[in-house]
Structure 1
Amino acid sequence: MVGITILVLALAIAVGICWLILRSVRAGAVRVDIEDRAPGPNSEGPADPR
């Protein structure tokens, strides 16, 4: 019974964290952060080393 209670509590905390993340994404806070990041290794760079 204690295990079920802990499982439900952990699930509620996980859902709450996901809800907060989704709210911040819809507000545009995370989207701007992703656009400002440096380009990855697969993107076209100014110079090709080959």
Structure 2
Amino acid sequence: ANATGLDLDSKAQAEQVRSISVDRLGAAIGEVPHALMEELDEALRLHLAL
């Protein structure tokens, strides 16, 4: 949580990719540091066989 600016820890599950409507998104409440985004990107590439 400290690295993202969120109050609580959260997780991204690369094996459970879903799309949602932009209308369901609200204002940003935190941000993902570049290094963590690279890890997520690599996990997505692995699970999507890219």
Q: Which has the larger radius of gyration?
A: 1
Structure with more contact order per residue of length (Cα contacts < 8 Å, sep ≥ 6): 2
Which structure has the highest helix share of the two? 1
The bucket for the TM-score relative to the shorter chain is: 0.3 to 0.5
